[in-house]
Amino acid sequence: MTSVSTQSEQINDQAKLNDKQINRLPLLRTIQTPADLKKLSIDELPQLATEIRQAICHQVSQTGGHLAPNLGVVELTIALHYVFDFGHDRLLFDVGHQCYPHKLLTGRLDLFGKLRTSEGMSGFPEPLESPYDLFSVGHAGTAISTAVGMARGDNMTGKEDRKVVSLIGDSSIANGVAMEGLNNAGTLKRQFLVVLNDNGMSIAQPQGALASYFDHVRVNQAYGDLKKRAREVIERLPGGHAVVEAYHRFGEIAKAALAHDHMFEHFGLVCLGPIDGHDLPTLIDMLNEVKDINRPVLLHCKTIKGKGFSFAEGDATAFHSPKPFVVEGCRVEVKSGGRSFTTAYADAMCDMMKTDDKIFAVTAAMADGTGLAKVATEYPDRTLDTGICESHAMDMCAGMAKTGVKPFFAVYSTFAQRALDQIFQEVSLQGLAVRVCMDRAGYVGGDGAVHHGFMDISIFRLFPKAALLASSDEVNLRAGLEFMRQYDEGASFIRYPRDSVASVPLEAQTPPYELGKAHLVRPAKTKRPDVAILALGMTVYAANEAIDELEYQGYRPALYDARFATPVDIDLLRELIEADIPILTIEDHTLVGGFGSAVLEACNDHQLSTSKIQRLGMPQTWVRQDSRSKQLNDHGLDAQGIARRVRQMLETPQSKPVTSKKKTNV
């Protein structure tokens, strides 16, 4: 077999392959279904693994995507498809971002060239693409529970011959839901296999006692004579006498790998390993031995995140989900865009923490993705990554707030809802001031439906004393965070997109945020505007560009930065409605229960007419992966869509297109 160092050098070169070369992969091009994979000899599989890594490195270098986690599961995925028949059996992924090798082995190489676009392949399991994908999943901790459900369902419907496998990785085993799933998996009286992909990593460095336990297991070679002690061990397991039968059915390799002191044996699972997750012959032998065992089994596999690409192996966090990159000799240059909201947030947090020693920054396994990696470098004693456990992180923040600390929890919008119950019970019900900073709000681009931040306003604005803010640029992000720092009446939330901040903001300075008050950004050119646009968050910039077009066509809109999704500016609404001025609300959020809904409800509560209020936002439909700009354009949230909607509101024939438009600095 090729050595790791030599293979790394080969893969580094392969990342530079052009499209013509990528289509000449001799083995991978022959794999249309896993049945084709089974035609290969075991000796040919290492070459197939190299070709899969070659394809992944090349494509991610072009489009961006999840690199390191997929490189780490190539052999595991090949072995699983080589042994099982997942056209009949069940394969569930946890986490979903380790699915690229699986997709390449199930006939989707032709879609791979348009990875993360609506015309190509999703970066996560997607049943619309293939029957081999059972769930569309992008969150952690879910697969064991859904696999238990499928196992029980198959038993009830007479399909108990279908084997069930859950592949769990990137430390999502530490998620509370995964533990609940394991607790129930141990009660099954049938075949059930959990493959633990233990790469010593989460999305970033794993956190917590469980991570330390796995570190110990990975390096501890003192297992003793397992064959001699195996019967004694399994008899101590819950239901251990029943496992004796399973033990007798093991081959020698499984008996040798039986872990006599693995923590998950206490869940009622037969635990094997750890074994080398890159050793294809051993993996295949092991899977063949355990696939028919009529008991729940956990197979613990050691893997290297980023395997085969030296840059990813050396910095698996940076190459977890990189932007497009170019290999230049001994270095990799990642293509960069403008200054991101994430970077702006990190800098703002560092500046606030200089002046307020009560601020404590928290994230849940997303230190790089939320910008807190930089904060942790400057303030290591006041920054904490809890690992993939948003519910725990929120409860911990509640406890800290109870003591007078000011916790700021940085989290993707799509993951914030995983802590909804904790925001209800431990935060809002107690009247505690926890600050939640939601990155990736609105459309997120290539990650698609599993990651769109489309519901945070709907679910969080219902809590008493909650303040929901949105920032349109870096100036307003800083002003919003400063408001949250001083807001002690209840929970506060700020949302901002996966996008770049304006290089030249609409306003160099902005007035401080005042609870529930909008800010006039662009007055109408006449005393009485034709329409008042209340834009939330970064939609302010698209609306401003739309006004350039509308003014050229003779319209006179006024533009307000709404700033707050709740409470809304009822004084402004009353003023506009009493002046009979039409209102258009705009938000990068679902219309169901969003900012526009909050405006309508507030007007109804104050007996104000809503007949001239219209809403523009994300439709109630699933939006597939693509660029964020295309997602906004497709749903009328770009400048042209906003201008078109204003013209429709005012019931005026559409003017001829503008030949020259002023560009925003976004």
* Active site (catalytic) residues: 305, 390, 418
Length of the chain in residues, anyone?
666
- Render pLDDT for 153-181 as a digit per residue (tens, 0 to 9): 999 999 999 999 999 987 778 888 889 99
pLDDT value for 120: 92
What CA–CA distance (Å, rounded) separates 526 from 241? Answer: 85
Q: Bigger pLDDT: 651 or 303?
A: 303
The token duo for 587 is: 């938000």
Domains of the chain: residue spans and CATH: 4-314 (3.40.50.970), 341-495 (3.40.50.970), 519-649 (3.40.50.920)
- Render pLDDT for 48-58 as a digit per residue (tens, 0 to 9): 999 999 999 99
The answer to whether the peptide bond before residue 324 is cis (omega within 30 degrees of 0) is no
The label of the residue with tokens 């003591």 reads: 403
This prediction has a pTM of: 0.84
Q: Are 599 and 569 in contact (CB under 8 A)?
A: no
User: Which uninterrupted H or E stretch holds 355?
Assistant: helix 341-355
What CA–CA distance (Å, rounded) separates 492 from 408? Answer: 10
The token duo for 177 is: 């839901």
What CA–CA distance (Å, rounded) separates 132 from 165? Answer: 13
- Across 247-262, average pLDDT: 66
The token duo for 455 is: 């519901």
Asked if pLDDT for residue 260 goes beyond 90, the answer is no
- Across 370-383, average pLDDT: 97
Q: Are 437 and 613 in contact (CB under 8 A)?
A: no
CA angle 595, 597, 600 (to 5 degrees): 115
What CA–CA distance (Å, rounded) separates 238 from 632? Answer: 54
User: Which uninterrupted H or E stretch holds 272?
Assistant: strand 270-276
| Neighbour count for residue 607 (Cβ, 10 Å) | 7
Strand pairing class (383-385; 435-439): unpaired
Task: Kindly compute the dihedral angle of the four CA atoms of residues 272, 278, 279, 284, in this order, to the nearest 10 degrees.
Answer: 60
**CA atoms within 13 A of residue 457's CA, in its CB half-sphere:** 32
pLDDT value for 504: 96
Residue 48 to residues 79, 114, 354, 463, Cα–Cα distance (Å):
11, 22, 53, 53
- The pLDDT-based confidence of 219 (bands split at 50, 70, 90) is very low
Question: Which of 14-28, 198-212, 453-467 is least confident?
Answer: 198-212
Closest CA to 164 of 199, 190, 138: 190
- The pLDDT-based confidence of 23 (bands split at 50, 70, 90) is low
Looking at every residue in the chain, the average pLDDT score rounds to: 88
Asked if pLDDT for residue 239 goes beyond 50, the answer is no
Which DSSP symbol is given to 264? G
The token duo for 37 is: 């994979």
pLDDT value for 330: 63
Closest CA to 583 of 112, 592, 568: 568
| Neighbour count for residue 339 (Cβ, 10 Å) | 14
Residue type, 533: I
Closest CA to 319 of 340, 301, 333: 333
- Render pLDDT for 502-551 as a digit per residue (tens, 0 to 9): 999 999 999 999 999 999 999 999 999 999 999 999 999 999 999 999 99
pLDDT value for 222: 34
What CA–CA distance (Å, rounded) separates 100 from 98? Answer: 6
- Render pLDDT for 615-634 as a digit per residue (tens, 0 to 9): 999 999 999 999 999 999 99
What CA–CA distance (Å, rounded) separates 98 from 104? Answer: 12
The token duo for 106 is: 């199930």
- The pLDDT-based confidence of 140 (bands split at 50, 70, 90) is confident
Q: Where are the alpha helices (DSSP H) in 616-663?
A: 628-634, 639-649
What CA–CA distance (Å, rounded) separates 534 from 529? Answer: 13
Asked if pLDDT for residue 187 goes beyond 90, the answer is yes
Q: Are 321 and 65 in contact (CB under 8 A)?
A: yes
- Across 35-48, average pLDDT: 97
Backbone angles phi, psi at 571, to 5 degrees: -65, -45
- Across 336-346, average pLDDT: 92
Q: Are 164 and 84 in contact (CB under 8 A)?
A: no
Asked if pLDDT for residue 245 goes beyond 90, the answer is no
> For the purposes of burial, counting CB atoms within 10 Å of the CB of 553, is it exposed (0-12), middle (13-18) or buried (19 or more)?
middle
Report helix angle 143-156 to 176-185, nearest 10.
Answer: 30
What is the CA 394 to chain-centroid distance, rounded?
18
Q: Are 472 and 486 in contact (CB under 8 A)?
A: no
- Render pLDDT for 432-489 as a digit per residue (tens, 0 to 9): 999 999 999 999 999 999 999 999 999 999 999 999 999 999 999 999 999 999 999 9
